[in-house]
Amino acid sequence: MSTPPPPFSCAHSPNVPELLHQLKATIAISTYQAGKLVFLSAPSPDRLTQLPRTFPKPMGIALKENMMAIAVKDEVVVLANDKRLAANYPAKPNTYDALYVPRAKYYTGQIDIHDLDWGEDGLYAVNTSFSCIVKIDHEFSYRPYWVPSFISKLAAEDRCHLNGMAMKDGYPKYATAFNQGDQHQSWRPEVTKAGVLFDIKQSEPICTALPMPHSPRIWDNQLYLLLSATGELVRIDLDKGSYDVICQLDGFVRGMSKIGDYAFIGLSKVRKQSTTFSQLKIADKATSSGIAIIHLPTGSKVGIIQYLSSVEEIYDVQILPNLLRPGILNTTRPEYKLALSTPETSYWAKTKES
């Protein structure tokens, strides 16, 4: 009998550590299925390391300067990076070149946030349960920002499975949904062929009949998104309302970020026991999860990270630039309370035992 691999074991193509090291970047992924936020880093050109941290059902990840926000089960957790704290981190001094520490929480309730991003005036989120894009603040569970024109009432019914959001000039510009229905989970019967890309300002669809669209992103003034049901990365022609396929991958694609000429795309296994997912065209090929690295100008796959255990579904993928080995603290252990920062200085408080 073979021994199962240790938790969070992964394999990768030989060039991945060298590429990440050259790019001076760390990959951050959220896996709600495993309940982890994971950093994948290459502190040297020949070694890939990862740091999983427990968060309850992590979904969208938002980055802005030294700030990170994570949408979890019924909250949004905001963390701040303080490199001064990293150098003297008591558990592992002189190990990390950054340390993200919890600084605030927004208690949203269970609104099933998917994509999350910083805007010009705060945090914006896709409120999938109530079928709208919202602002997150300290006064309400959420403030509605944009409601699709076909949604007649804000109700916790996941009517169209609104999931993706792309920002432009500091505000939500594009959104993706699985259909244009106005009833409780109306997207399920035609989940593989009724997806929609919206222009939020116009509140009208740009593309329709999309196979489970996710993760719209604006890069170099062009709009990209993932078609999860077919495993495709596509570029949208906004004038024609059509798209060009850049590459196709063997996985349920969801979560995407870019640095330089490289796109990092999340791959998830297909839940074959699900009546919704078992009908997908890529169901037989989507047998592992991980990260595919695509050379965007040519559409070539140049690297792969494949999980052998623990991680089966990935939601978001973000790139932390200029960080070779960042650390992160969560709120499940009390050590984050000892990390004290001011604009002028930072230090670690002593426990009573010390």
DSSP class of residue 58? Answer: -
Confidence at residue 224, expressed as pLDDT on a 0 to 100 scale:
98
pLDDT value at 275 more than 80? no
Report which of 185, 184, 236, 186 is spatially closest to residue 210, judged by C-alpha positions.
Answer: 236
What structural domains and CATH numbers belong to the chain? 10-331 (2.120.10.30)
Q: Could you tell me the two tokens for 220? A: 């170099």
pLDDT value at 13 more than 50? yes
Q: How confident is the model at residue 354 (pLDDT cuts 50, 70, 90)?
A: very low
- For residues 199 and 206, the answer to whether their CB atoms sit within 8 Å is yes
Q: Tens digits of per-residue pLDDT, 283-294? A: 777 788 999 999
- For residues 176 and 124, the answer to whether their CB atoms sit within 8 Å is no
Confidence at residue 15, expressed as pLDDT on a 0 to 100 scale:
97
Report which of 13, 10, 11, 86 is spatially closest to residue 302, judged by C-alpha positions.
Answer: 13
Confidence at residue 270, expressed as pLDDT on a 0 to 100 scale:
84
pLDDT value at 80 more than 90? yes
Residues 6+ apart with CB under 8 A from 251: 231, 267, 268, 269, 282, 285, 286, 288, 289, 290, 292
3-state secondary structure 126-166: EECCCCEEEEECCCCCCEEEECCCCCCCCCCCCCCCCCEEE
Report which of 324, 305, 325 is spatially closest to residue 21, judged by C-alpha positions.
Answer: 324
- For residues 332 and 27, the answer to whether their CB atoms sit within 8 Å is no
- In this structure, of 4-8, 62-66, 111-115, 306-310, the range with the lowest mean pLDDT score is 4-8
Q: Tens digits of per-residue pLDDT, 159-218? A: 999 999 999 999 999 999 999 999 999 999 988 999 999 999 988 899 999 999 999 999
User: Mean pLDDT across the chain, nearest whole number?
Assistant: 94
Higher pLDDT, 278 or 141: 141
CA-CA-CA-CA torsion for 66, 71, 73, 77, nearest 10 degrees?
30
CB atoms near residue 343 (< 10 Å): 5
Q: How confident is the model at residue 2 (pLDDT cuts 50, 70, 90)?
A: confident
Confidence at residue 271, expressed as pLDDT on a 0 to 100 scale:
72
pLDDT value at 350 more than 90? no
Using CA atoms, how far residue 324 sits from 40, 95, 246, 257, 353, in Å, is: 9, 10, 29, 17, 33
Q: How confident is the model at residue 29 (pLDDT cuts 50, 70, 90)?
A: very high
| Distance between CA atoms of residues 45 and 339, nearest Å | 31
pLDDT value at 353 more than 60? no
Buried b (16+ CB within 10 A) or exposed e, 197-210: bbebeeeebbbeeb
Q: 192-199: list long-range contacts, CB under 8 Å, 24+ apart.
A: 192/229, 192/279, 192/280, 192/281, 195/227, 196/160, 197/225, 197/236, 198/148, 198/174, 199/173, 199/174
pLDDT value at 272 more than 80? no
Report which of 157, 109, 104, 108 is spatially closest to residue 131, judged by C-alpha positions.
Answer: 157
Report which of 43, 42, 41, 39 is spatially closest to residue 58, judged by C-alpha positions.
Answer: 39
Q: How many residues does the chain have?
A: 354
Confidence at residue 344, expressed as pLDDT on a 0 to 100 scale:
93
DSSP class of residue 60? Answer: -
Q: Tens digits of per-residue pLDDT, 91-144? A: 999 999 999 999 999 999 999 999 999 999 999 999 999 999 999 999 999 999
Using CA atoms, how far residue 162 sits from 140, 159, 215, in Å, is: 21, 8, 11
| Distance between CA atoms of residues 326 and 43, nearest Å | 10
Report which of 202, 280, 215, 288 is spatially closest to residue 241, judged by C-alpha positions.
Answer: 202
